[in-house]
Structure 1
Amino acid sequence: MLKQRELEAFDAFMRLGNMKGAGEFLGLSQPAISRLLVAFESHTGFALFVRKRNRLTPTQEALQYHQTVQRTLAALRDAEEEAVAIANKKTGHLVIAAQPVFCDTFLLDAVSIFRAKHPGVSVKLVDVGLEEMTRMLAERTCDMALGITLDAEPFGATATTLARCEACCILPIDHPLNETDVLPLPRLRQETFIDLSLGSPLRTRVDFLMQTIDVKRRIAAEMRNLRGVVKLVEMGIGLAIVDPVACRLLHPDKAVARPLLPSISWEIAQFIPRDRQISAVGQAFLEVIRAEIDLLKEQKLVV
């Protein structure tokens, strides 16, 4: 079996043309270089040198094989540098599955902060609904996921609660209901809504509550993208019931947020596939997420 030290001795000899130069380059004696070359030639199975009067002359096969050896050594150096970079959290790739509301808000800040500290690491944010998120966890196609608290056991994942949220209603700045500090859900009868798309956990909760208290809504538009929902509210198209982190997207001169009664609450959780150990860069990204959650708590958006 070829050994790295033999490859290095052969490369040094081929580049420098003699054992003395190869030995000085590698910090070895000439006899040590000679032994390495003999062993290397034995392992290759073909003649590398013509020996005349204590001089080694490379064969045509040696000249040809030297190109392969140079590529191999370059690959080994790259592998060593990659290992050091990974150990120092300087390289890698992360796949984060998250519900749209998080991709539209604090996760964007988290990616920006993380990339500033780890420019060699690429981050793929996958905007998913709850069903798709659980599928990715089950299939181990993401490093981690962010969503609402659920029973993660059936999907082979572990869940950690990060914060608790309460939905709020966002309204155009000139809407009559802005005069109310807290909005009872029955007051929303016959209002025009901008809704999150069907399948959104919050939309499901809202639909159920509205049916329970017999509140009928006029839905002007449905969108998966939270930024689009906020924009339509600011344009005066209707109001919306959204995750509180949406307040970070509001233009204060165009829309306001009001709490709801009864409250609609849930927990933000992180999910890790149970049999997929989180990498060092994954741990570093989780630290940034927790810092962003702490900032949301300071802003009174979550608790």
Structure 2
Amino acid sequence: MNARQLEIFRAIMRDGSVTAAANSLAVSQPAVSKVLHHFESQLGYHLFERISGRLVPTMEAHLLYEDADRVFREIEALKNLARTIGERKVGLLRIGASAPVTYSILAGALLKFRAEHPQVKVHLHTLPKADVEEQLLIGEIDFALTLSMIQAPTVRSEILAPVPMMAVMRHDDPLASKTRITPHDLADRPLISYGSTTADIGPELDKAFEQSGLKRDVSIQLSSSLGAIPLVSGGLGIALVDGLMKWGNFEGLVARPFSPTVFMDVSISTNSARPVTRFFRPFLKSIKELLNDGEPAKSHPRNTPATE
């Protein structure tokens, strides 16, 4: 059994005769009859009987037709998809993102991107940074969006925007009346923050406290700023976390800038050892426009382009 035999069988069932099937397939009637006879010979049973000069499908033909018709509909859909992909109308974008990026800026960036590429399918993997890095290296995602650069031999990263650290507290906290929060303000308060070994940001925060003559004592250590929401709301302390999240949208919480200013970096990374999807650059344009309020993307002194 092959696809051509199924195609001719389906056409005869649909059109009602060998002649009509030959016309719809733009082939000769003898060619259709030959393929049909060979098909029946392979199956070992008849698919049609000639009664009063007409071809009448057998019971076996009716049983076979339903699946044959489904298979060819799927083949036609696949052909259309292949053609549409070739016309660059449809594609797939596989994004790996840390939770703060997903819950803050990703939706806006995707809205901009899909306005010009509405048929592109998106697979989103929201994972801790270490898992995002692993997915990027093994090729499960096309690019990564994280709050610090991924350091790996084949990974190329670009810093999209610096994000200042914020002190997040309950709205009724005495420190909520201040415009900025310093290490001295946090000295005697339970601190919810990143650990000292957290790449990039941990040492920078430790240094900010040391410059004020203090030691940063983390009461509850976080791997993602999203985890601070229930902890701060529950009265377990003040969180010193990234300002990427829109903290004012969470009921009962307020955020104040931390001084001295310490930055985390929204970064986008690709794996140079693997092909880059053609939709990467359009998405990159969209997220840069979002982060820069429609203005041309500003360069950052630590930028390393994500692609050549």
User: TM-score, with normalisation over the residues of structure 1?
Assistant: 0.71
Matches within 5 A, 1:1-303: 2=2, 4=4, 7-26=6-25, 28=26, 32-39=28-35, 41-42=37-38, 46=42, 66-84=65-83, 86=85, 94-111=93-110, 118=118, 121-129=121-129, 131-147=130-146, 148-153=148-153, 156-173=154-171, 175=173, 177=175, 181-186=179-184, 188-196=186-194, 200-201=198-199, 204-206=202-204, 208-209=206-207, 212-213=210-211, 214-217=213-216, 219-230=218-229, 232-233=231-232, 237-246=236-245, 248-251=246-249, 254-261=253-260, 263-280=261-278, 285-295=283-293
CA deviations 1:163-210 (Å, max 9, x no partner) are: 233323334455555666555545543333222467643652355325
Are the equivalent residues in 2 in contact too, given 1:190–1:217 (CA < 8 A)? Answer: no
Measured in 2, the distance between the counterparts of 1:10 and 1:24 equals: 14
> How far is 1:71 from its partner?
3.4
CA deviations 1:67-110 (Å, max 9, x no partner) are: 55323312202212333554577766544222232123112444
Are the equivalent residues in 2 in contact too, given 1:13–1:19 (CA < 8 A)? Answer: yes
Structure 1 runs not aligned, ≥5 long: none
Measured in 2, the distance between the counterparts of 1:93 and 1:45 equals: 44
The DSSP-based 3-state class of the residue aligned with 1:190 is coil
> Judging changes above 3 Å, is the alpha-carbon distance between structure 1 residues 274 and 268 closer, same or farther for their aligned structure 2 residues?
same
Are the equivalent residues in 1 in contact too, given 2:95–2:123 (CA < 8 A)? Answer: yes
Structure 2 runs not aligned, ≥5 long: 302-308
CA deviations 1:135-168 (Å, max 9, x no partner) are: 2222222222112224342xx3332332233323
CA deviations 1:200-252 (Å, max 9, x no partner) are: 43652355325744523454544445344245446665332222212x22259
> How far is 1:123 from its partner?
2.8
Measured in 2, the distance between the counterparts of 1:209 and 1:33 equals: 85
> How far is 1:50 from its partner?
7.9
> Judging changes above 3 Å, is the alpha-carbon distance between structure 1 residues 255 and 235 closer, same or farther for their aligned structure 2 residues?
farther
> Judging changes above 3 Å, is the alpha-carbon distance between structure 1 residues 69 and 219 closer, same or farther for their aligned structure 2 residues?
same
Q: Which amino acid aligns with 1:165?
A: V
CA-based RMSD = 4.4
Q: What percentage of residue pairs aligned between the two structures are identical?
A: 19
The DSSP-based 3-state class of the residue aligned with 1:104 is helix
Measured in 2, the distance between the counterparts of 1:103 and 1:50 equals: 59
- Worse-matched range after superposition: 111-120 or 80-89: 111-120
> Judging changes above 3 Å, is the alpha-carbon distance between structure 1 residues 137 and 238 closer, same or farther for their aligned structure 2 residues?
same
The DSSP-based 3-state class of the residue aligned with 2:244 is helix
> Judging changes above 3 Å, is the alpha-carbon distance between structure 1 residues 68 and 150 closer, same or farther for their aligned structure 2 residues?
closer
Q: Which amino acid aligns with 2:247?
A: L
More helix by share: 1
Measured in 2, the distance between the counterparts of 1:289 and 1:37 equals: 59
> How far is 1:113 from its partner?
6.1
The DSSP-based 3-state class of the residue aligned with 2:151 is coil
Measured in 2, the distance between the counterparts of 1:23 and 1:37 equals: 9
> Judging changes above 3 Å, is the alpha-carbon distance between structure 1 residues 14 and 254 closer, same or farther for their aligned structure 2 residues?
closer
The DSSP-based 3-state class of the residue aligned with 2:287 is helix
- Worse-matched range after superposition: 9-18 or 272-281: 272-281
Measured in 2, the distance between the counterparts of 1:63 and 1:230 equals: 61
